[in-house]
Amino acid sequence: MRTLPILALGLASLALQGCLAKAAVGAVTLPVKAASRGIDLATTSQSEADEKRGREIRKREERLGQLGRDYDRAMRRCQQGDARACDSARVIRAEMDALMPGVPVER
C-alpha cells in the first residue's frame, strides 16, 4: 500500500525535472534578452537613419514646392499692384531661404 504513493512521487519528480530545467533556463536568459532588446531599441541602424533623413528631405522638398507656388501667385498679384501680396511674397521668400540649406543639391 505504501509503495504506490512512493512510486507516484518518484514518477512525478522525474516528469517535473524537464519543466524545472526549462524554467531555470528561461530565468537565466531573460536578463540577457531584455538587455539586448533595450540596446536594440536605443540604437538606430544606419539604414534607419538614412530612411529618416530621406523622409525629412522629402518633406522639405514638398514644403519648398508649395512655397514656390504660393510665392509665384503672390508675385503675380504684387505686380498687379496688391501691396499685401508683396508683403506676403517677402515672408514666403524668407521661409524658402530658411529651408534651402536643408535640401541637398542634385548634380
Tens of pLDDT, residues 12-35: 666 656 655 566 556 667 676 776
Instruction: Give pLDDT, residue 73.
Output: 94
Same domain, 15 and 57: no
Instruction: Give pLDDT, residue 67.
Output: 94
**Domain around 76:** 52-102
Judge whether 56 lies within some domain.
yes
Judge whether 83 lies within some domain.
yes
Instruction: Give pLDDT, residue 104.
Output: 75
Same domain, 59 and 95: yes
CA–CA gap between residue 68 and residue 106 (Å, rounded): 18
CA–CA gap between residue 74 and residue 78 (Å, rounded): 6
Beta carbons of 74 and 88 less than 8 angstroms apart: yes
Instruction: Give pLDDT, residue 48.
Output: 84
Query: Which of 2, 1, 4 lies closest to 12 in space, CA to CA?
Result: 4
- Residue 13, all three cell numbers: 519528480
Mean per-residue pLDDT of the chain: 79
CA–CA gap between residue 84 and residue 92 (Å, rounded): 12
- If one compares 74 and 45, the residue with the highest pLDDT of the two is 74
Confidence class of residue 10 from pLDDT cuts 50, 70 and 90? Answer: low
- If one compares 28 and 52, the residue with the highest pLDDT of the two is 52
Q: Is the pLDDT of residue 103 over 60?
A: yes
Judge whether 107 lies within some domain.
no
Same domain, 95 and 56: yes
Query: pTM for the complete prediction?
Result: 0.54
Q: State the total domains in the chain.
A: 2
